[in-house]
């Protein structure tokens, strides 16, 4: 009896001492800028379709408002609504000097990004993981003195459409995972956003670009296999926002603030306009009511709010960077200041409730179920999902794991093996106890 019991105890000992979580799960977050939720419906996308069969597809996801590039990407990285993380626009601005910087230059304004909220790169590194980023908005900045361990910022005047560069960047990122043993990487592609802006979301050019995106997805997944990463690399592919067709050529009455009776730019100290369907105004002292009254109801497709009266669902009010008056237009319209200066055929920045603003979402890898289609959820929930897969403690955020955990094979993706070993050990101990009682 003692010999048998010793064998049982030896078995339990081997279970308890077995290596826990032999290979930590890794994660690649990819954004294809401006990829609307339904872009795969009028284009043949075999690789995206295969990814859905091999993993998870959401009907669509809802970005935060304001639905533009830098703010929505920083929500993916932090799990915070825009009013909470503070990257409220693509453009850095100073209301005193009236200076503004465009999207690319704003990437290098550190204080614009580093204002209290940590992106997942820094959180992961502080908890012992290795993180990197390629071209993702916010990559150029440091946060509380730290940066992503491996990072690459695109050069100015970068050709976001170049498919050869897409392949080179994919090879580079896979090398980071394979040879530098990174645990998390965020990767950014600037299309189909640029094509959607220039030609419109319903154009043949946009459809061709979606085909290029699909080829890129196929190349990415082939590269995962080539680098022997299939068993432990998870991939989430999503976007920052969608795209809507702009009404032009006399089809509608355009919104031009300078033409509105009672409104004058002489009452405004600073403005952020001529940047699509959204805008903000800082009235001069004691002019707020005058400016607000002149604009409110001035155009049937222009929404005008005092900052404190913004609809709560938009979560775009409680930040000092947001100016006192917020404007946005209905889909198809853009807001002009003195006169029209923008001629894009497609735009984003509209209300995030509008279906044209919804991005797509795919996920595949050992953490995810296969051939699972799920309902819509907010992109603020991607952050806690990523932290969960990586097995790190998230920072304070506005997302909820409950919104996405049904996608996962186990309730704790990164620690799944540990949980199973503990359960097996408990079963083994119970078996021994039963055996000894019987004897």
Which 8-state DSSP code applies to residue 361?
Answer: E
| Residues 6+ positions from 64 with CB-CB distance below 8 Å | 71, 72, 75, 81, 82, 315, 316, 352, 378, 379, 380
128 token code pair: 């012992």
If we measure between CA atoms, which residue out of 356, 413, 321, 255 comes closest to residue 90?
Answer: 321
- Using DSSP bridges, classify how beta strands 150-152 and 233-238 pair: parallel, antiparallel or unpaired: unpaired
Q: Which of 62, 67, 69, 379 is catalytic?
A: 69
The CB density around residue 309, as the number of other CB atoms within 10 Å, is: 11
CA dist 90 and 69 (Å) reads 6
Active site residue 69: yes
Q: Rounded to an integer, what is the distance from CA 202 to the centroid of its chain?
A: 23
**Based on C-alpha coordinates, what's the Rg of the chain?**
25
CA dist 134 and 137 (Å) reads 9
Report phi then psi at 193, rounded to 5: -60, -50
Handedness of CA 423, 425, 430, 431 (dihedral sign): positive
CA dist 346 and 34 (Å) reads 10
Biggest CA–CA distance in the chain, Å, is 98
CA dist 198 and 14 (Å) reads 63
Among the residues of 139-237, which ranges form H helices?
A: 163-179, 193-199, 204-226
CA dist 89 and 87 (Å) reads 6
**234: enclosing H helix or E strand:** strand 233-238
For the annotated catalytic residues, the residue numbers are: 69
């Amino acid at each position: 009896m003692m010999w048998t019991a010793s064998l049982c105890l030896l078995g339990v000992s081997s279970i308890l001492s077995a290596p826990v979580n032999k290979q930590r799960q890794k994660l690649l977050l990819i954004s294809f800028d401006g990829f609307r939720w339904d872009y795969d419906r009028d284009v043949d996308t075999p690789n995206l379709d295969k990814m859905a069969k091999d993993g998870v597809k959401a009907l669509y996801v809802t970005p935060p408002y304001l639905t533009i590039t830098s703010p929505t990407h920083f929500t993916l990285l932090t799990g915070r609504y825009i009013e909470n993380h503070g990257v409220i626009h693509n453009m850095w601005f100073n209301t005193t000097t009236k200076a503004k910087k465009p999207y690319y230059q704003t990437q290098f304004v550190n204080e614009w990004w580093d204002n209290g909220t940590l992106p997942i790169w820094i959180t992961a590194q502080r908890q012992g993981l290795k993180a990197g980023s390629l071209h993702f908005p916010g990559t150029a900045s440091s946060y509380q003195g730290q940066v992503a361990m491996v990072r690459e910022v695109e050069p100015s005047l970068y050709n976001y459409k170049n498919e050869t560069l897409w392949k080179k960047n994919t090879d580079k990122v896979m090398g980071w995972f394979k040879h530098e043993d990174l645990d998390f990487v965020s990767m950014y592609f600037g299309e189909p956003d640029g094509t959607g802006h220039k030609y419109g979301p319903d154009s043949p050019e946009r459809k061709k670009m979606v085909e290029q995106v699909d080829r890129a997805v196929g190349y990415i997944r082939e590269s995962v296999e080539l680098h022997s990463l299939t068993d432990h690399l998870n991939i989430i592919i999503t976007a920052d926002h969608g795209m809507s067709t702009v009404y032009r050529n006399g089809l509608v009455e355009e919104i031009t603030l300078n033409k509105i009776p009672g409104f004058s730019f002489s009452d405004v100290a600073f403005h952020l306009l001529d940047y699509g369907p959204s805008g903000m105004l800082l009235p001069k002292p004691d002019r707020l009511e005058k400016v607000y009254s002149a604009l409110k109801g001035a155009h049937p497709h222009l929404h005008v709010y005092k900052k404190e009266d913004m609809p709560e669902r938009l979560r775009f009010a409680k930040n000092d960077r947001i100016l006192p008056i917020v404007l946005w237009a209905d889909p198809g319209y853009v807001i002009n200041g003195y006169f029209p200066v923008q001629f894009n055929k497609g735009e984003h920045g509209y209300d995030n409730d509008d279906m044209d603003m919804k991005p797509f979402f795919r996920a595949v890898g050992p953490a995810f179920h296969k051939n699972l289609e799920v309902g819509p959820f907010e992109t603020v929930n991607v952050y806690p999902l990523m932290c969960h897969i990586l097995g790190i403690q998230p920072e304070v955020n506005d997302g909820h794991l409950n919104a996405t955990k049904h996608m996962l094979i186990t309730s704790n993706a990164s620690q799944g093996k540990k949980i199973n070993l503990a359960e097996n050990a408990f079963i083994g101990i119970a078996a021994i106890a039963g055996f000894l009682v019987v004897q």
